[in-house]
A and B are shown apart, each in its own frame.
Chain A
């Protein structure tokens, strides 16, 4: 194919070039005249240039787009992963290819031992050939297999057949968050819902000490029923070679890092913890809410910028504002400034109401509520008993007895009603408990302080002639005082904070 053209041309390429350039400047008739003149001196040269001009005119966009745009499949494809569809691997019958990514090809496969369909991932050779990488992967797969959460695709097994490694995990049918992002903007309540689910999954894993380390929209699947499933939890990084050091990307290992989602400390190659996931979460949250990447998508320059910027220079303010605050905290460069783990993040997200307002933390923050409830009822009972006693014994106080009783009755009625109302709300609608308590607490404190004063004064006044009643009032008032100052703050802290 090198052909006569090339060898003929090599005799005088410079002359071809000169004539070609000259002709290119001219219009059609000018070219004809020029070529005709040239043909008289050197027909071969003129013929060559004429052919080249024709090629030039008809070549259209030839080579005008860069190679990777013309043949992107050459880059995206991992040629060493042979197709397995229809074949058998150990007990697995491969049904179809369902995905293909940096970490190899994923197939839907039937596990014929257990009669279930799984996602079977063929791991890159770079991993299966490297003893250290294998060991680490085995360790991590074991940890990941212990994760059981509706938001995480369960790892079933790490298998080896004929020297190749395969990872079997829960088969999730759905679209990636990446595809969803490309497809459409989600309404705000849906975004919040997805983020809460994602934070919930992160929380579950972080509690077991497992960090995803490669959280990104490609690793989050949305199922048809609206649930999310995070895949490759805890193992994603290990599937890439050189996962110990900085995320250097290699040719042989087709698995590549995703700089757009890596926390600054991760990019620098430092050890990562849950807060790296929090960072990735922040990027995903921003993308979902704003419809664009917080650092300008595939633009590695902003990545460098991010490495030095303490607070990310975000171009948009997210809606609702409460979410904006949360996302900015996730994206802080210094991991000490981020949420410490999934549970903190989850609490913050749960406090964002769907309409965007921040509502007080709901039912999920009430723990050990029994003591708190008992406290409400006990204090109310004590107040009622003393009020009734005073009503019966008001004659002891002489003429002022009725007035004192009236005052105590009013105070007792207010505080008892409010306390029993709090107890009632904690039973039927815990979500609004904290807000309600915030509104009524000052009245309870005021009434009880006056009540304690009245009972104590009455008790002291009655001491001597009516010791038994006096003792009851003094003890009760001290109990109420103690409860107000010490016991209640303690039970509240334990249950509601």
Chain B
């Protein structure tokens, strides 16, 4: 989905930092280094915002604006990565000995098709851009219902309804 915020220069400036933080978290997660501790992605986005705002307070309108950009950035990064990986798999070559095989990943990880989701999300955006944006904020940005509502300036109840429908629709799309 080509939402406006995605094309602004801030995105490029912000992307690396958010990405770095998320990547670090993901690495911890993968190594299972923080047992019993749940990830706090929203806190993470929030902190990244605090940090960046300190540098250049004029750059961000508000936290919601930031979250929208962060979520979009995250989506771009993940999809880019998934594509690169897909190409590598198809390309064959030497047998891979990476921690893909070594580390126990959550079962859903192996089956989750990020690229298919991205494509489905594009189709959803054609039907209803708002719902696609909710999914982006929730899934790629890690925002809660309330935070998503704040970012989109709609009521939490509306977010909840749209989220349920979008989720069901995407689930069905991915099962096809």
The answer to whether A1 and B119 touch across the interface, beta carbons within 8 angstroms, is yes
By a CB distance below 8 angstroms, the chain B residues around A398 are none
Chain B residues 27 to 56 lying within 8 A of chain A, measured CB to CB, are: 27-35, 39, 41, 43-44, 46-48, 50-51, 54
Q: Of A66, A82, A100, A248, which is within 8 A of B17 by CB?
A: A248
Q: How far is the CA of A62 from the CA of B116 in the complex (A)?
A: 14
The answer to whether A13 and B127 touch across the interface, beta carbons within 8 angstroms, is yes
Flag whether B60 is at the interface (Cβ < 8 A): no
A257 CB to closest chain B CB (Å) equals: 7
The answer to whether A75 and B97 touch across the interface, beta carbons within 8 angstroms, is no
Flag whether A286 is at the interface (Cβ < 8 A): no
The answer to whether B109 and A73 touch across the interface, beta carbons within 8 angstroms, is yes
A333 CB to closest chain B CB (Å) equals: 15
Q: How far is the CA of A75 from the CA of B46 in the complex (A)?
A: 19
| 8 smallest beta-carbon distances between A and B, as pairs | A249-B20, A66-B142, A72-B26, A56-B168, A300-B47, A75-B26, A79-B84, A55-B172
Q: Of A9, A21, A70, A182, which is within 8 A of B33 by CB?
A: A182
Flag whether A28 is at the interface (Cβ < 8 A): no
Q: Of B28, B93, B168, which is within 8 A of A53 by CB?
A: B168
Stretch at the interface among A84-92, A372-380, A400-408: A84-92
Q: Of A3, A56, A63, A75, which is within 8 A of B27 by CB?
A: A75
Chain B residues 5 to 38 lying within 8 A of chain A, measured CB to CB, are: 15-17, 19-35
Flag whether B105 is at the interface (Cβ < 8 A): yes
What are some 12 contacts across the A-B interface (CB < 8 A)? A17-B161, A55-B171, A63-B139, A66-B139, A66-B140, A79-B88, A178-B33, A179-B31, A249-B19, A298-B21, A301-B50, A301-B51
B57 CB to closest chain A CB (Å) equals: 13
Q: Of A13, A56, A299, which is within 8 A of B167 by CB?
A: A56
Q: Of B15, B50, B176, which is within 8 A of A251 by CB?
A: B15
Flag whether A96 is at the interface (Cβ < 8 A): yes
Q: How far is the CA of A97 from the CA of B88 in the complex (A)?
A: 18
By a CB distance below 8 angstroms, the chain B residues around A55 are 168-169, 171-172, 175
Flag whether B59 is at the interface (Cβ < 8 A): no
| Nearest neighbor of B171 in chain A, beta-carbon distance | A59
Flag whether A417 is at the interface (Cβ < 8 A): no
Q: How far is the CA of A83 from the CA of B29 in the complex (A)?
A: 23
Task: Given A74-B78, A74-B82, A304-B51, verify A20-B22 contact (CB < 8 Å).
Answer: no
The answer to whether B127 and A85 touch across the interface, beta carbons within 8 angstroms, is no
Q: How far is the CA of A5 from the CA of B169 in the complex (A)?
A: 10
Interface hub of A67, A179, A182 (most chain B Cβ within 10 A): A67
Q: How far is the CA of A20 from the CA of B176 in the complex (A)?
A: 20
Q: How far is the CA of A67 from the CA of B161 in the complex (A)?
A: 21
The answer to whether A72 and B94 touch across the interface, beta carbons within 8 angstroms, is no
Q: Of A52, A71, A250, which is within 8 A of B172 by CB?
A: A52
The answer to whether A74 and B50 touch across the interface, beta carbons within 8 angstroms, is no
Q: How far is the CA of A76 from the CA of B81 in the complex (A)?
A: 10
By a CB distance below 8 angstroms, the chain B residues around A10 are 126-127
Chain B residues 124 to 169 lying within 8 A of chain A, measured CB to CB, are: 126-128, 135, 138-142, 161-162, 164-165, 167-169
By a CB distance below 8 angstroms, the chain B residues around A182 are 31-35
The answer to whether B16 and A73 touch across the interface, beta carbons within 8 angstroms, is no
Task: Given A52-B168, A67-B75, A298-B25, verify A251-B16 contact (CB < 8 Å).
Answer: yes
By a CB distance below 8 angstroms, the chain A residues around B26 are 68-69, 72-76
Q: How far is the CA of A249 from the CA of B22 in the complex (A)?
A: 12
Q: How far is the CA of A51 from the CA of B175 in the complex (A)?
A: 12
Q: How far is the CA of A66 from the CA of B99 in the complex (A)?
A: 21
Flag whether A225 is at the interface (Cβ < 8 A): no
The answer to whether A71 and B82 touch across the interface, beta carbons within 8 angstroms, is yes
Q: How far is the CA of A201 from the CA of B168 in the complex (A)?
A: 57
Q: Of A9, A62, A84, A86, which is within 8 A of B171 by CB?
A: A62
The answer to whether A74 and B114 touch across the interface, beta carbons within 8 angstroms, is yes
Q: How far is the CA of A24 from the CA of B54 in the complex (A)?
A: 44
| Nearest neighbor of A298 in chain B, beta-carbon distance | B25
Contact code string B80-102 (vs A, CB < 8 Å = 1, else 0) = 01101100100001111111100
The answer to whether A83 and B97 touch across the interface, beta carbons within 8 angstroms, is yes
By a CB distance below 8 angstroms, the chain A residues around B24 are 256, 258, 298
The answer to whether B34 and A71 touch across the interface, beta carbons within 8 angstroms, is no
Flag whether A27 is at the interface (Cβ < 8 A): no
Q: How far is the CA of A371 from the CA of B105 in the complex (A)?
A: 66
B176 CB to closest chain A CB (Å) equals: 6
The answer to whether B97 and A85 touch across the interface, beta carbons within 8 angstroms, is yes
By a CB distance below 8 angstroms, the chain A residues around B77 are 75, 251
